[in-house]
A and B are shown apart, each in its own frame.
Chain A
Amino acid sequence: MLKNLVAGLRTLLAKRMHDREMDEELRAYIDAAVEEKMRGGMSRETAIRKTRIEMGSPEAVKDEIRDAGWERALESLWQDVRYGARMLRKSPGFCALVIFTLARGIGANTAIFSLVEAVLLRPLPYPHASRLVDLWARSDVFDFPNLGVSLPDLADIRAQSRSFERLAVYNYAQVDLTGQGRPQELEAVQASPDFFPMLGIAPLYGRTFIPSDARPGNDQKAILSASLWRTHFGADTHVIGRGILLNGATYTIIGIMPPEFAFPSGVDLWIPFVPTPAELAARDTHGYPVVGRLLPGSSIREAQVELNTIATRLAVAYPQTDKGWGFSLRSAKSDLVNNTSTPLLVLFAAVGLVLLIVCANVGSLYLARAWSRAHEMAIRAALGASRGRLIRQLLIEGLLLALAGGVAGLLFAAWALEGLRPLILLNTPRLEHLKIDGHVLWFTLAASLAAGLLFGLVPAFLFSRNHLIAAIREAGAGREARSAGPRQSRLRQLFVVIELSLALVLVIAAGLAIRSFARLSATPLGFRPDHVLTMELDVPSYQFKTPAQFVSYSDQVLERIRRSPGVESASASISLPLGNFRGETEFRLPGRPANPDAQGFMAGWNHVTPGYFQTLGISVIAGRDFNENDRTGSEPVVIVNQALARRYFGNQSPIGKQISTHHDKDHPIWSEIVGEVANVRDVSPSQKPAPFIYEPYAQNQAGGDVIPQIMLLVRTRTEPMALGRTIEDRIWSVDKDQPVTNLKAMTELVATSYGEPRSQSLLLSLFGGLGLVLALVGIYGVISYSVGQRTREIGVRMALGAQTKDVLSLVLAQGTKLVLAGVGIGLAASFAATRLMRGLLYGITATDPLTFAGVSALLILAGLAACYIPARRATRVDPMSALRNE
């Protein structure tokens, strides 16, 4: 093998020497043969002649010897490549057109693939990441698939399951960092000691948690994320062992994590998770996310089966809390990218269609060029080139073009990614990994080669020997080769039909996305986001000893804001519609069993000050808004939304009815419903409003902890952002150290929540438009070509009295046939393909008849318009000159 390789290389490199040796060997052979024959009695001349005859041409023999080595094939391939490159250089216009077209197709694919790669394909950055799973609690009654697991349940799973190497629990917490410049709220995660070992990530400096860190009293340790370490501690390695103030208590920094580690995403620091005995016993608190590592060899499916068994056992043992509950297990990656995979795959499919259209388009161009070279090909065939060799030549040229297109596409993709980044999928996880890396390069290479093969092989159908002979004959007669013309134009027509049908699929997909987005935008949100300014005050709970202090602080702030010029109203709440945070609560109704199978009914939940509904423009349907008297100590009251009233009170008015969201040692605390307000789309614009309960901000019905967070909402008379500074000053006039974050116009928050459907419809429109233009160029090209071919026929018809409209309809009829065929096939394909989009659409079905009909009509009109231009040209044929030219 090696010897073969070396010998081959030597032959390639020392070609001349090798040829000389071959000559000499052959001469020796001839000499020996001649001598042998002379010894047999022949004359010298006869012997030489006979030897020549026996041997044939020495050049042919040498050729055969050369063929015996692999290097020969390489050599001829290289010849073809050089010849191909030369031929391409001779037609720069054609090359530029093809490369440009390919670059768009390959570039768009590269860009979308790099998205798919970064978000969906790349494994999570942990060792053996495929074994990492998320464990959630699932209720058969409530429609919430991802609830946290309760700690006693987790303990039972740990004890009974045989599938997991480790199960770690964590909990989100917000902490205030003080004594480090401006006070700031940080995203902290409380993690059990096995959290880091389970993920398998070592700290950059210091250490991670050990079991003793979770002992109460010994638990004031903190591990910093690399970004927090950089922004707040100047990336100083000496911070390890130093204390920081979190919520007013001193924590010791014990470690710093590497920059690529961010789990859960967005976390600033980790502190030990030390559950209280009460929390450890609360089987009904479904509050803790659990992440686990499967044992090598056990699958998610097996583990899920085991969890189901455990859940059944728990339901029997603890019917009060565990009946109707189960557990669900998903791979940590799929959990992370779950919501993004469908939109991304739809985009990927769309962009794949664009590439197919590009290939058909380029294939058609390539076919025309190959045919115009039929003469050259015929001569090469006559000189002994096999059909395979000719096809190889065309294939090589196709691949050369495709590779050039791939390189151009890569540049295009790099440019497009930068341009698209702000536009694509604002909420997509893992987007920070987006880049053109090795995998993407391989993909681009593969896509280019596939495209090259696809359109490069097409002309192979043309070059049968008979066609080549005919081409020579016609070339000899001084005419342009034409006999294989019908075959050529049939193929090109086929391409156009394919292009049109694929374009139809793309444009229908874009149409569906646009219509769905329009529906979504037209759906009332239930509140008026214009002229509303929102901001967040992080109020450190340790500064306020009692809820009353907290309420009086927020009252002061609101009072000062209301007195500013330009402010119409101001109010506070715990969460915002379409915000990052949404409260949920269980509730009970008097006289009804607290839900037979589970603990209660579920509703969205918010605490709001008087004026909240007015500020957001939510209409009060019945009853009253909260007022200044609804405070802790007064009669507990709530306001419910229409969805809750409809579902639980039917046609009766909910006003005056009792409802309970809190209980005191199993005794429900009843509140009176004093108002009913309109539904608000608070989760996302596309999600139907669920039951919702509002409680007075100043009324602490449970008498429990204060939620240390105030969302301020200010309705302004003018442009809201212009008032930002004034309002900040008002806040600081109460407490100059109060951090104000996320100062935003409500419209911005709304725009963000529309971001995903908007970018989807935008990108799909982009691809649809690209496909449509390519398909129109395709049909224009084919009809133009056919008009050119039929000049003589048209001339004859006109000479015989055909009118302009006859000629027009002659040409248009041909175009109509192609367009209708394309639309027909495209419609069938669309019915199958748009099903992929079902989950993305709002308010319309995936086979929305209006979109299908409208887009088809659009495509037919555009297609005919593209045919009309060459048809007009056909009517201007001068019969005399057309006939004379032949």
Chain B
Amino acid sequence: MRPKSATLVQGTLDMLILKTLALEPLHGYGISLRIEQMSRGIFRVNPGSLFPAFRRLERAGLLTSEWRSTENNRRAKYYVLTDRGRKQLKTETSEWGKQIAAIARILEAT
């Protein structure tokens, strides 16, 4: 973990991966880059956490993968969100929203 990047809250990495893939299938580096860009550089995900997460999600049936050519004509493993993954993302997003709101209320209380 590099000093600059914030530590991800436990369990949120899976959600971020699902979110990234909601738009289009991506390969590993693409996902990592997308997360970094979207968080404006706050979260940088190390491959050591990223790839195990892929395996976990794939095992859980939330992702599938396939080998495709990249825009640079290289082969890479693309991850695709399944229907179950989409559903999971939805519930996790709403759950997350509730939690954030709750935490915010606690922190704002005097």
Picked from A26, A29, A36, A68, the residue with its CB within 8 Å of the CB of B55 is: A68
Within 8 Å of chain A (Cβ to Cβ): is B56? yes
Flag if A32 contacts B29 (CB, 8 Å).
Answer: yes
In the complex, how many angstroms separate the beta carbon of B53 from the nearest chain A beta carbon? 8
By beta carbon, the residue of chain B nearest A67 is B52
Scoring A residues 4 to 34 as 1 if CB is less than 8 Å from chain B, else 0, what string do you get?
A: 1001100000000000011011101101110
Give the residue among B30, B33, B46, B55 with the most A Cβ atoms within 10 A.
Answer: B55
Which A residues from 54 to 70 make CB contacts under 8 A with B?
Answer: 54-56, 60-61, 64-65, 67-69
State whether the Cβ of A232 lies closer than 8 Å to any Cβ in chain B.
Answer: no
A56 x B74 contact (CB < 8 A): no
- Taking the nearest CB of chain B, how far is it from the CB of A50, in angstroms? 12
Residues of A within 8 A of B52 (CB): 64-65, 67-68
Tally A-B pairs: CB < 8 A.
72
* A725 at the binding interface (Cβ < 8 Å): no
- Bound form: Cα–Cα A31–B55 in Å: 21
Do B48 and A61 have beta carbons less than 8 Å apart? Answer: yes
Q: Does A32 contact B48, Cβ atoms closer than 8 Å?
A: no
Tell me if B60 counts as interface (CB < 8 A to partner A): yes
- Which residue of A is nearest B56, CB measured? A68
Whole-angstrom CA separation of A3 from B48 in the bound complex: 24
Interface residue B41 (Cβ < 8 Å from any Cβ of A):
no
- Within 8 Å of chain A (Cβ to Cβ): is B98? no
Chain A residues with CB under 8 A of B92: none
- In-complex Cβ contact of A32 among B30, B59, B60 (8 A): B30
Contact between B75 and A61 (Cβ–Cβ < 8 Å)?
no
Judging by beta carbons under 8 Å apart, are B75 and A24 in contact? yes
Closest to B30 in A: A32
Q: Which residues of A contact B28 (CB under 8 A)?
A: 25, 28-29, 32
A672 on the B face (CB < 8 A): no
Does B12 belong to the interface (CB within 8 Å)? no
Q: How far, in Å, is B82 (CB) from chain A's closest CB? A: 11
**Cα(A8)–Cα(B53), bound, Å:** 15
Whether A306 is near chain B, meaning CB under 8 Å from some CB there, is: no
Which residue on A lies nearest to B52, using beta carbons? Answer: A68
Task: Looking at the assembled complex, report how far the CB atom of B9 sits from the nearest CB atom of chain A, in whole angstroms.
Answer: 19
528-578 of chain A: CB within 8 A of chain B? none
Residues of A within 8 A of B33 (CB): 36
Contact between A55 and B58, CB atoms less than 8 A apart: no
- Is A117 interfacial (CB 8 A cutoff)? no
Given A24-B75, A28-B29, A68-B56: A54 touches B46 (CB 8 Å cut-off): yes
Cα distance A24–B60 in the bound complex, in angstroms: 23
CB contact between A64 and one of B51, B70, B77 (< 8 Å): that residue: B51
Q: Which residues of B contact A848 (CB under 8 A)?
A: none
- A728 at the B interface (CB under 8 A): no
- Asked if B48 and A31 make an inter-chain contact with CB atoms under 8 angstroms apart, the answer reads no
Q: Which residues of B contact A4 (CB under 8 A)?
A: 59-60
Residue B97 is within 8 A (CB to CB) of chain A in the complex = no
Min CB gap B36→A, angstroms: 10
The interface residues of chain A lying within 8 Å CB-to-CB of B77 are 21, 24-25, 28
Could you give, for residues 336-378 of chain A, a 1 whenever the CB lies within 8 Å of some chain B CB and a 0 otherwise?
A: 0000000000000000000000000000000000000000000
**Distance (whole angstroms) from the CB of B70 to the closest CB of chain A:** 7
A64 adjacent to B48 (CB under 8 Å):
yes
- Per-residue CB contact flags for chain A residues 589-612 toward chain B (1 = under 8 Å, else 0) read 000000000000000000000000
> Do residues A56 and B46 form an inter-chain contact, with CB atoms below 8 A?
yes
List residues of chain A with CB within 8 A of the CB of B49.
Answer: 64
In the complex, A25→B66 CA distance in Å?
11
- Taking the nearest CB of chain A, how far is it from the CB of B96, in angstroms? 22
CA distance A824 to B30 in the complex (A): 73
| A627 to B: closest C-beta gap in Å | 100
CB pair B47–A32 under 8 Å, yes or no, is no
A25 cross-chain contacts in B, Cβ below 8 A: 28, 51, 76-77
Bound together, the chains give a CA A54 to CA B33 distance in angstroms of 13
Min distance, Cβ B71 to any Cβ of chain A, angstroms: 10
A878 in the interface (beta carbon within 8 A): no
B29 to A36, Cβ gap below 8 A? Answer: yes
Task: Please determine whether A26 and B29 come into contact, CB atoms closer than 8 angstroms.
Answer: no
Docked-complex contact B74 and A28, CB < 8 angstroms = yes
Expressed in whole angstroms, the Cα–Cα distance for A32 and B70 within the complex equals 9
Q: When chains A and B are docked, how far (Å) is the Cα of A7 from the Cα of B58?
A: 9
How far does the alpha carbon of A35 sit from the alpha carbon of B60 in the complex, in Å? 32
Give the CA-CA distance A7 to B54 in the complex, in Å.
13
B56-104 residues with Cβ-Cβ distance < 8 A to A are: 56, 58-61, 70, 72, 74-77
How far apart sit A55 and B76, CA to CA, in the bound complex (Å)?
18
A782 to B37, CA, bound (A): 68
Say yes or no: A65 contacts B51, CB within 8 Å. yes
Contacts of B46 in A (CB 8 A): 54-56
A interface footprint on B16-49 (CB within 8 Å = 1, 0 otherwise): 0000000000011110110000000000001111
User: Are B55 and A35 in touch, CB under 8 angstroms?
Assistant: no
Question: A104-148: contact bitstring with B at CB < 8 Å (1 yes, 0 no)?
Answer: 000000000000000000000000000000000000000000000
- Docked Cα-Cα span, A87 to B77, in Å, equals 43
Question: Contacts A54-B46, A55-B47, A67-B52 hold; do A3 and B30 have CB atoms under 8 A apart?
Answer: no
**Residue contact B76 to A60, C-beta cutoff 8 Å:** no
Q: Given A36-B29, A56-B48 in contact, is the A28-B55 Cβ separation under 8 Å?
A: no
How far does the Cβ of A715 sit from chain B's closest Cβ, in whole Å? Answer: 88
Please give, as numbers and ranges, the residues of chain B lying within 8 Å of A67 by CB-CB distance: 52
Q: With the chains together, A22 CA to B52 CA distance in Å?
A: 11
Taken together as a complex, chains A and B put the C-alpha atoms of A54 and B2 apart, in Å, by 8
Bound Cα distance A374, B93 (Å): 52
CA distance A26 to B55 in the complex (A): 13
Query: Is B59 a contact partner of A7 (Cβ separation < 8 A)?
Result: yes
Q: How far is the CB of A337 from chain B (nearest CB, A)?
A: 53
A28/B59 contact (C-beta < 8 A), A35-B72, A60-B48, A64-B48 known = no
Chain B hits for A55, CB < 8 A: 46-48
Using Cβ atoms and an 8 Å threshold, which residues of chain B touch A32? 27-30, 70, 74, 76
**Could you list some 21 contacts between A and B, CB below 8 A?**
A3-B59, A3-B61, A4-B60, A8-B59, A22-B51, A24-B75, A25-B51, A28-B27, A29-B76, A31-B74, A32-B28, A32-B29, A32-B76, A54-B46, A55-B48, A56-B46, A56-B48, A60-B48, A61-B47, A61-B48, A67-B52
Residues of B at the A interface (CB closer than 8 Å) are 2, 27-30, 32-33, 46-49, 51-56, 58-61, 70, 72, 74-77
Which 9 pairs of residues, A with B, have the shortest CB-CB distance?
A32-B29, A68-B52, A28-B76, A68-B55, A65-B51, A4-B59, A29-B28, A29-B29, A25-B77
A36-B29, A65-B54 known; 20 new pairs, CB 8 Å cut-off, are A7-B58, A7-B59, A22-B51, A24-B75, A25-B77, A28-B28, A28-B29, A28-B76, A28-B77, A29-B27, A29-B28, A29-B76, A36-B33, A55-B48, A56-B46, A64-B48, A65-B55, A68-B52, A68-B55, A69-B55
